[in-house]
Amino acid sequence: MGKLLSIGAAAHALGVSTGTLRRWEASGRLVPARTEGGQRRYDLAALKPGMTHRAPTARKTIAYARVSSHDQQDDLARQKQVLELYCVRQGWEFELIDDLGSGMNYQKKGLSRLLGAIIDGEVGRLVIVHMDRLLRFGAELVFAICQAREVEVVIINQGEDSTFEEELANDVLEIITVFSVRLYGSRSHKNRKLIDGVRAAVKDAQC
CA 100/CA 84 separation, integer angstroms:
18
Give the architecture (CATH level 2) of 4-52. Orthogonal Bundle (1.10)
**Catalytic residue status for 186:** no
Are the C-beta atoms of residues 167 and 136 closer than 8 Å to each other?
Answer: yes
**Residue 4: what residue type?**
L
Helices and strands per DSSP (H, E), number in the chain: 8, 7
Nearest Cα to Cα of residue 162 among 99, 63, 82, 64: 82
**Residue 23: what residue type?**
R
- The structure's pTM equals 0.55
Measured in whole angstroms, the distance separating CA 52 from the mean position of its chain's CA atoms is: 26
Give the per-residue pLDDT at 98.
Answer: 93
Give the per-residue pLDDT at 86.
Answer: 92
Are the C-beta atoms of residues 129 and 99 closer than 8 Å to each other?
Answer: no
**Weakly modelled stretches of the chain, pLDDT under 70:** 1-2, 45-57, 103-105, 136, 158-207
Annotated active-site residue in 17, 27, 68, 180: 68
Nearest Cα to Cα of residue 65 among 75, 57, 55: 75
Give the per-residue pLDDT at 120.
Answer: 87
Nearest Cα to Cα of residue 206 among 160, 157, 159, 172: 172
- Class of the domain covering 60-155: alpha beta
Give the per-residue pLDDT at 52.
Answer: 45
